[in-house]
Amino acid sequence: MIELLKQVRVIDPLAKTDQIADVAIASGFIQAIEQEICDLPTDSQQHDCRGLILGPGLIDLYSHSGEPGFEERETIASLKRAAFKGGFTRLAILPDTNPPVDNPGGLALLRKASEISRDSAPNLYFWGALTINIQGQQMTELAELAAAGVVGFADGQPVNNLALLRRILEYLKPLQKPVALWPKDRNLASNGVMREGADSIRLGLPGNPAISETSALAALLEVVAATETPVHLMRISTARSVELIRDAKARGLPITASTTWMHLLLDTSAISSYNPALRLEPPLGNPRDRTALIAGVREGVIDAIAIDHAPYTYEEKTVAFGEAPPGAIGLELALPLLWQELVETGYLSAWQLWRSLSTQPAHCLQQEPPAPTVGARAELVLFDPLKKWTVDTQTLESRSQNTPWLGQTLTGRVLQIWN
């Protein structure tokens, strides 16, 4: 059976094109993309897609699973449903489960849970831990984890022991797997719960200075320069970090970088509500940081936008702002909010947003990117930018609801995925 999407807006971030066309899909592959397709069999399924957007499937670089260990927050099945509802065809999971993925046994548990889930999409990939128990003290058996099939290596926590980090990067270089590192100096961050600045003083909350990130980033870049091991820099959140990454790329360092979606949408001014769902790590930046991050994404200095989906139960998050565990859900919310706030307002073009959510994350994971081109496998998402829906327990697939948009009406909804 051939599906014909009539007059859909096709976004191809690889070709940097944005056009209205007819798209024919059959047997899981894209058969044709033309201004108008007329010569299809009479039994073809035709869909009027005027006003809808078709792009390559979204890819999330790093998010958290509750299962195993914290199933009350999220199961693999609910995580996959949430990702599917948000337009994600691939999802990479951080190793901070219980037990953690710091050995092949931990990876096997996650894979078994994934296989039990009846939902086929999205495809799940699993990061292996850099250090035992994700404690930053002793490296894992990296070669064993690589042989077991992890997508790459990341603790999802800072590794502040630079001597250990240098040794890890030297061991990892011949394995040729992605490595993701989070630049953060725990001592400088201290007990800060929001980014240090005028707003933290006004709100009376302990501030986390920008140098807790930038000083750690500068040190990481020196280690990368010494080892020449390619590294992905995760959770970039400050204007100065964007400058450091821009300079490092100009010098030819083998790095890529990502920020998270909420750091592009909100800054410290939003925390005046004291909503514990806004307690994030790294914390939301000051307005200058947000502006610099958006510019970094637009220019390609920041390669990818990650979701960093971090589910927590109502009981865990319904506490004072400073006592709440850091993190928020986002798989079902990111595309509509980023589209409305960044594309509709002109900060990013449609293909720039899709590049950061799809093709560049694939590049960072050393994977072939999806593409809406003739002959390619149909790994696609159909998005209605005008469909309104309310964020509540009835519409969210995630088991957790820790988001500042709970109860609000959003514009934009994924209608279908091909994977």
- The predicted structure's pLDDT at residue 111: 87
- Angstrom distance (rounded) from CA 326 to CA 194: 10
DSSP of 314-363? HHHHSS-GGGSPS----TTTHHHHHIIIIITTTSS-HHHHHIIIIIHHHH
pLDDT, average across residues 123-133: 97
C-beta of residue 136 within 8 angstroms of C-beta of residue 158: yes
Q: Map residue 47 onto helix, strand or coil.
A: strand
CATH of domain 57-364: 3.20.20.140
Neighbours of 137 (CB within 10 A): 11
- Angstrom distance (rounded) from CA 181 to CA 231: 7
- The predicted structure's pLDDT at residue 39: 82
C-beta of residue 404 within 8 angstroms of C-beta of residue 270: yes
Q: Which CATH architecture has domain 2-53+377-418?
A: Roll (2.30)
Among 107-121, 198-212, 235-249, 359-373, the minimum mean pLDDT is found in 107-121
Catalytic pick among 96, 308, 384, 392:
308
Q: How high does pLDDT run on average in the chain?
A: 96
pLDDT in tens, 46-63: 999 999 999 999 999 999
- Angstrom distance (rounded) from CA 9 to CA 55: 8
- The predicted structure's pLDDT at residue 110: 85
Residues 6+ apart with CB under 8 A from 276: 317, 318, 319, 320, 321, 324, 402
Chain centroid to CA 403: 16
If you search the block for the tokens 């250990």, which residue do you land on?
164
- The predicted structure's pLDDT at residue 119: 61
For residue 113, pLDDT over 90 is answered with no
- Angstrom distance (rounded) from CA 275 to CA 396: 19
- Angstrom distance (rounded) from CA 327 to CA 310: 5
- The predicted structure's pLDDT at residue 232: 98
Based on its alpha-carbon atoms, the radius of gyration of the chain, rounded to whole angstroms, reads 21
The reply to whether 60 belongs to the active site is no
For residue 120, pLDDT over 70 is answered with no
Q: Of residues 121 and 287, which shows the higher confidence score?
A: 287
- The predicted structure's pLDDT at residue 117: 64
In degrees to the nearest 10, what's the CA dihedral of 8, 353, 76, 387? -50
Q: Kindly give the residue spans of alpha helices, DSSP state H, lying in 117-179.
A: 142-148, 162-172
- Angstrom distance (rounded) from CA 391 to CA 401: 9
Write out the two tokens for 364: 């960072």
If you search the block for the tokens 């995630």, which residue do you land on?
398
CA proximity to 265, closest of 393, 94, 404: 404
Write out the two tokens for 392: 């509540």
pLDDT, average across residues 116-144: 90
Domain boundaries, the chain: 2-53+377-418, 57-364
pLDDT, average across residues 98-119: 85
- Angstrom distance (rounded) from CA 307 to CA 258: 10
pTM for this structure?
0.97
C-beta of residue 418 within 8 angstroms of C-beta of residue 121: no
- The predicted structure's pLDDT at residue 118: 61
pLDDT in tens, 138-184: 999 999 999 999 999 999 999 999 999 999 999 999 999 999 999 99
C-beta of residue 89 within 8 angstroms of C-beta of residue 381: yes
Would you place residue 266 in the very low, low, confident or very high pLDDT band (cuts 50, 70, 90)? very high
Percent of the chain with pLDDT over 70: 99
Among 34-43, 80-89, 122-131, 217-226, the minimum mean pLDDT is found in 34-43
**Environment class of 203 (CB within 10 Å of its CB; exposed 0-12, middle 13-18, buried 19+):** middle
C-beta of residue 101 within 8 angstroms of C-beta of residue 110: yes
pLDDT in tens, 293-322: 999 999 999 999 999 999 999 999 999 999
Q: Map residue 304 onto helix, strand or coil.
A: strand
- Angstrom distance (rounded) from CA 380 to CA 180: 26
- Angstrom distance (rounded) from CA 120 to CA 194: 38
